[in-house]
């Protein structure tokens, strides 16, 4: 029987960030990741943007999340000698005169650390529609999520710590305060299954909802802009000269395949933002694991503390996952309490409801 500290199920952004923070703490892991359940992380455009939404507000916990995520991915880059993170300014054209006035007149001190009115909006004018000017972000950019997942997987394969299989919940047993799964024994098991958590018998009461999305790769003619542009849709310049553009938000879906509606919506967006012709080279789709309060979910099962969850990354996995992984690692390794706002405890009442209705 192989002995490890933790079994981790899933190797998307949640699983990968947790694996890396545990390894940094000299813990041992065994990872089980399905070869058929497509990770949302493989589709993610990788953007991290501290100023989001139509109202251009600061995202949750930005002061902590954004410095921490850059430190985290840069450390991974150094460890694996692979480019992972691309810090970049995001130029956000104002939608109308109202939002322009709001931002110029009363930017709060908090937001000033992350964004400022763009002084030279004219440079973008030949390429994009920006009649009201715009703002530019700091501490923003994108992560090459695929490159990140690849280096983590290669590291696990090299130490025989990775199995590509769909987890068989019936094969999980508990003995002597340990968990056993097939030929592996561990102190605890952590499920980081993204949207597929809905099929997990331990955590199917956790209110993770799927939000499908499409993302496109574009070729844009005569478009030398090297910043990310974000006007409802984002356009990210990639190192190979193409552009990633997204994304759509679809609540009702039957599969995780690219949609015609998503293609139409994003290309219509491209026509409103871009002044230059473009062609679509590729379309991909995935399912984000969202949660109504937009906070991650980490912690123990209410009755079986050897079984834990890491989920709820929603639309912002790149920026939330390193923080949540570090908080979960502090809990596992140091016994430090998990903050209520990100703990699975906040949904224990749903488990009680489920039990009492059975």
Ligand X SMILES: Cc1cc2nc3c(=O)[nH]c(=O)nc-3n(C[C@H](O)[C@H](O)[C@H](O)COP(=O)(O)OP(=O)(O)OC[C@H]3O[C@@H](n4cnc5c(N)ncnc54)[C@H](O)[C@@H]3O)c2cc1C
Near ligand X in 196-215, by CB under 6 A: 196, 213-215
Where does this chain touch ligand X (CB under 6 A) — which range of 13-21, 22-30, 84-92, 173-181?
13-21
Determine, following the binding rule CB under 6 A, whether residue 10 of this chain makes contact with ligand X.
Answer: yes
Among 7, 8, 13, 115, binds ligand X (CB under 6 A): 13
Nearer to ligand X, 133 or 317 (CB): 317
Contacts of 168 (CB under 8 A, 6+ apart): none
Structure tokens at 110: 């908090």
Q: What span, in angstroms and rounded, lies between the C-alpha atoms of 215 and 44?
A: 8
Residue with tokens 């998990």: 338
Among 7, 43, 216, 228, binds ligand X (CB under 6 A): 43
Closest CA to 67 of 340, 322, 341: 322
Residue with tokens 């958590």: 197
Residue with tokens 């009702």: 252
Q: What span, in angstroms and rounded, lies between the C-alpha atoms of 54 and 116?
A: 16
β-pairing, 233-237 with 228-231?
antiparallel
Distance of closest approach, residue 325 Cβ to ligand X, in angstroms: 10
Determine, following the binding rule CB under 6 A, whether residue 194 of this chain makes contact with ligand X.
Answer: yes
Among 6, 7, 8, 15, binds ligand X (CB under 6 A): 15
Determine, following the binding rule CB under 6 A, whether residue 188 of this chain makes contact with ligand X.
Answer: no
The Cα diameter of the chain in Å comes to 68
Structure tokens at 100: 């322009």
Bridge partners of residue 214, in order along the sequence? 285
Structure tokens at 289: 């694991």
Q: Is the peptide bond before 251 cis (omega within 30 degrees of 0)?
A: no
Q: What span, in angstroms and rounded, lies between the C-alpha atoms of 139 and 85?
A: 12
Bridge partners of residue 309, in order along the sequence? 191, 299
Distance of closest approach, residue 3 Cβ to ligand X, in angstroms: 21
Closest CA to 199 of 336, 113, 311, 109: 311
Among 315, 323, 325, 351, binds ligand X (CB under 6 A): 315
Among 29, 47, 135, 179, binds ligand X (CB under 6 A): 47
Contact pattern from residue 95 through residue 134 relative to ligand X, giving x for each residue in contact according to CB under 6 A and a dash for the rest: ----------------------------------------
Give the nearest residue (CB) to ligand X.
12
Determine, following the binding rule CB under 6 A, whether residue 217 of this chain makes contact with ligand X.
Answer: no
Determine, following the binding rule CB under 6 A, whether residue 329 of this chain makes contact with ligand X.
Answer: no
Q: How many residues bind ligand X (CB under 6 A)?
A: 42
Structure tokens at 358: 């059975």
Tally of CB atoms within 10 A around 323: 19
Distance of closest approach, residue 340 Cβ to ligand X, in angstroms: 21
Nearer to ligand X, 188 or 316 (CB): 316
Determine, following the binding rule CB under 6 A, whether residue 33 of this chain makes contact with ligand X.
Answer: yes
Q: Is the peptide bond before 207 cis (omega within 30 degrees of 0)?
A: no
Among 20, 21, 41, 99, binds ligand X (CB under 6 A): 41
Determine, following the binding rule CB under 6 A, whether residue 286 of this chain makes contact with ligand X.
Answer: yes
Among 314, 325, 328, 332, binds ligand X (CB under 6 A): 314
Nearer to ligand X, 133 or 203 (CB): 203
Binding residues for ligand X (CB under 6 A): 9-15, 32-34, 37, 39-41, 43-47, 166-167, 192-196, 213-215, 246-247, 286, 288-289, 311, 313-319
């Amino acid at each position: 029987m192989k002995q490890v500290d933790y079994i981790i199920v899933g190797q998307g952004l949640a699983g990968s960030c947790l694996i890396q923070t545990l390894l940094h703490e000299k813990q041992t892991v065994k990872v089980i990741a399905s070869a058929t359940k497509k990770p949302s992380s493989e589709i993610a455009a990788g953007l991290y943007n501290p100023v989001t939404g139509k109202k251009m507000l600061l995202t949750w916990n930005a002061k902590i999340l954004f410095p921490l995520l850059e430190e985290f991915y840069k450390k991974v880059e150094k460890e694996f000698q692979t480019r992972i993170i691309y810090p970049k300014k995001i130029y956000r054209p104002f939608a109308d005169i109202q939002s322009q006035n709001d931002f110029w007149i009363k930017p709060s001190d908090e937001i000033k650390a992350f964004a400022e009115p763009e002084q030279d909006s004219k440079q973008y004018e030949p390429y994009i529609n920006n009649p009201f000017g715009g703002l530019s972000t700091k501490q923003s950019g994108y992560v090459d999520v695929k490159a990140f997942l690849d280096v983590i997987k290669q590291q696990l394969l090299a130490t025989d710590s990775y199995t590509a299989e769909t987890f068989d919940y019936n094969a999980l047993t508990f003995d002597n305060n340990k968990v056993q799964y097939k030929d592996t024994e561990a102190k605890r098991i952590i499920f980081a299954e993204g949207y597929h958590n809905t099929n997990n018998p331990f955590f199917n009461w956790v209110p993770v909802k799927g939000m499908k999305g499409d993302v496109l790769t574009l070729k844009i003619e005569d478009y030398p802009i090297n910043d990310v542009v974000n006007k409802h849709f984002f356009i990210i310049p990639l190192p190979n000269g193409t552009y990633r553009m997204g994304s759509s938000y679809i609540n009702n879906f039957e599969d995780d395949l690219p949609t015609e509606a998503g293609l139409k919506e994003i290309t219509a967006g491209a026509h409103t933002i871009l002044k230059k012709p473009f062609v679509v080279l590729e379309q991909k789709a995935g399912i984000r694991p969202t949660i109504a309060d937009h906070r991650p979910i980490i912690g123990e099962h209410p009755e079986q503390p050897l079984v834990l969850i890491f989920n709820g990354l929603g639309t912002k996995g790149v920026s939330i996952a390193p923080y949540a992984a570090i908080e979960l690692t502090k809990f596992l390794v140091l016994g430090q309490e998990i903050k209520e706002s990100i703990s699975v405890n906040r949904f224990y009442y749903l488990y009680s409801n489920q039990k009492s209705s059975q």
